[in-house]
Chains A and B, each alone.
Chain A
Amino acid sequence: QKEVEQNSGPLSVPEGAIASLNCTYSDRGSQSFFWYRQYSGKSPELIMFIYSNGDKEDGRFTAQLNKASQYVSLLIRDSQPSDSATYLCAVKGSWGKLQFGAGTQVVVTP
């Protein structure tokens, strides 16, 4: 069974600080990795994806990928109360399907 693991949290972050989220995956052959944000009762919305080892930045978000360690992370800089949500790590498998982790709940405190 291919697994995607995340710490469930909640991760409490002061407003303006950096939130650091981690994800590990079991399938060494995985090539594509995604971070989604999900507000309570809503559908997942894509934050960013990463395919290559290293860092990828998009605004306040940075994704980091280390395929040798089977590890993906997401940094949220200058955290805002609107960033309070559950962050889902997902790994692309066959036929484009995504396998999701259980998500990390982030709470940004003013």
Chain B
Amino acid sequence: EPEVTQTPSHQVTQMGQEVILRCVPISNHLYFYWYRQILGQKVEFLVSFYNNEISEKSEIFDDQFSVERPDGSNFTLKIRSTKLEDSAMYFCASRPGPTGELFFGEGSRLTVL
């Protein structure tokens, strides 16, 4: 069964360092998303991406964040200069169209020290 894959599963970084989280969405999907979940809190929308551009972003997704789909398969989330409060589980998700099931990856846990 096709699945969304994310790497790394866990990354520990020092405050101020750049982090790139990688995702490979399901191959025929066209809509891509990043969500984050701080421990014990709700799943929060960060950004949606369609047709090689950001379609919507939340207030969380400030200038420190960027997304890219560099090669038609990978979908990356970059955090330019990490802060302690960026520690969270980051989920990538994709879907074939604007409706229907949203498929989540297993998540990348980011710990900022």
Residues of chain A at the chain B interface (Cβ within 8 Å): 32, 34, 38, 41-46, 49, 88, 92, 94-103
Contact = CB atoms under 8 A, between A and B. Distances in A.
B38 to A, nearest CB: 11
A49 B99 CA distance: 11
Nearest to B48: A95
Contacts of A103: 42
B105 A98 contact: no
B106 A100 contact: no
Given A44-B43, A97-B48, 15 more contacts: A42-B107, A43-B91, A43-B105, A43-B107, A46-B101, A88-B42, A95-B31, A96-B95, A96-B102, A97-B33, A99-B45, A100-B42, A100-B43, A102-B41, A102-B42
Contacts of A97: 33, 45, 48, 56
Contacts of A92: 99
A101 B42 contact: yes
B96 to A, nearest CB: 10
Interface of B: 31, 33, 41-45, 48, 50, 55-56, 89, 91, 95, 97-102, 104-107
Contacts of A34: 102
Identify which of A32, A44, A92, A94 gathers the most chain B CB atoms within 10 Å of its CB.
A44
A50 B54 CA distance: 27
